[in-house]
Each structure stands twice: as structure tokens, then as C-alpha cells.
């Protein structure tokens, strides 16, 4: 099996009929279709169900990223104790003062997405998978899709992409 043919193992977040949240799936390209195989569990990779999306119904296979900013309260007491341990009474005062207010922490959440047409072009469906355990493999799979399976986009006279 070539590296590019290696299936992608991901956990479902939502959008796959009959699959529980965090169920393990194997995703691969096979016979002019994208196959999603729902597996029994991590230890027994026995297929429970197989879903097939024809390549001509695929809209996109991609990774969507969202940045979140969380505000976290600084610990006045904890910083005061640490300052006192290191520098005595003056350190306790300075440590306590440095702990006032909040600090901001940026987090990035990525989701592997498969969008496709259902019964017609007005019926767009999307399946979401977690990228937590294999972000690099997800990007490799997206690259494989774009290079080998993505349909060329048509552009009209106004420069608009025709879907």
C-alpha cells in the first residue's frame, strides 16, 4: 500500500447517519468514491457500516480552522506565594500585583470536513471529524484530494466560480 493510499482514521463529530459522536472511522478513496467505514472500536477495527460518496457528488474535503480567545483569571494568591518563596516579602507583594486582571490565551480548533450533494444540488450535507489525533495526516489527505480527485472549477465571464 502506497503512502497516498493509506486510509485516514478519524473520530466523527457529527453528520454521519447512524454514527455516535467520537466513533472511529476509516476514510479512503476507492473505486471512484470516497468511502467512510464506521469501525467497531479502536482495538477491534471491525467494520460496522460503510458509507460511499460518489466523487461527482463531492463538493469539498478540507480542514476548517477556528481561533478562540479565552480569558483566564490570573491567580493573585498563587503568584504572591511564589513571589514570597523566591524573593521574600517584597516578592510576595510584586507577585500578588502581577496576578491582578486576566490574561488571554489563543486556541485553534480544527475540524476535518467532507461536504457533498445529497439527493440534489439543493441538498448539501456535511460530515465533521475531529483532527485532534492526526492533524498532519488530515492535511495529507486534503492534499491528496485536491491533487487527484477535486473537480476543476469552472469560471463564468464575470469571474464567478460555477458550482
Q: Give the pLDDT confidence of 21-65 residue by residue, as tens digits.
A: 999 999 999 988 999 999 987 667 788 899 999 998 998 899 888
pLDDT cut 70: percent of the chain above it? 64
Question: To which residue does cell 467520537 refer?
Answer: 22
Q: What's the CATH code, domain 6-67+110-152?
A: 2.30.29.30
CA distance 109 to 33: 28
Question: To which residue does cell 480569558 refer?
Answer: 71
pLDDT cut 90: percent of the chain above it? 36
Q: Which of 76, 57, 46, 32 is nearest to 118 (CA)?
A: 57
Q: What's the DSSP call for residue 2?
A: -
Strand ranges for 21-140 from DSSP E: 24-30, 33-39, 47-54, 58-73, 102-117, 124-130
Alpha helices in the chain (DSSP H): 76-98, 135-148
Q: Looking at per-residue confidence, does 2 or 20 come out higher?
A: 20
The three cell numbers of residue 78 are 498563587
The confidence score (pLDDT) of residue 148 equals: 87
User: Which part of the chain has CATH 2.30.29.30?
Assistant: 6-67+110-152
The confidence score (pLDDT) of residue 3 equals: 46
Q: Which of 63, 55, 73, 147 is nearest to 112 (CA)?
A: 63
The confidence score (pLDDT) of residue 120 equals: 87
Amino acid at each position: 500500500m502506497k503512502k497516498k493510499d493509506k486510509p485516514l482514521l478519524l473520530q466523527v463529530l457529527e453528520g454521519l447517519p447512524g454514527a455516535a459522536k467520537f466513533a472511529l472511522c476509516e476514510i479512503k478513496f476507492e473505486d471512484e468514491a470516497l468511502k467512510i467505514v464506521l469501525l467497531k472500536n479502536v482495538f477491534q477495527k471491525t467494520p460496522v457500516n460503510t458509507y460511499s460518496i460518489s466523487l461527482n457528488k463531492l463538493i469539498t474535503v478540507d480542514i476548517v480552522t477556528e481561533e478562540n480567545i479565552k480569558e483566564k483569571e490570573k491567580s493573585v494568591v498563587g503568584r504572591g506565594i511564589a513571589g514570597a518563596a523566591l524573593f521574600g516579602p517584597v516578592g510576595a507583594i510584586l507577585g500578588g500585583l502581577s496576578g491582578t486582571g486576566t490574561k488571554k490565551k489563543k486556541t485553534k480548533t480544527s475540524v476535518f470536513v467532507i461536504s457533498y450533494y445529497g439527493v440534489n444540488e439543493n441538498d448539501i450535507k456535511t460530515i465533521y471529524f475531529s483532527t485532534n489525533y492526526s492533524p498532519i495526516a488530515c492535511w495529507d489527505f486534503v492534499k491528496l484530494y485536491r491533487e487527484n480527485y477535486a473537480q476543476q472549477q469552472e469560471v463564468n465571464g464575470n469571474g464567478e466560480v460555477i458550482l
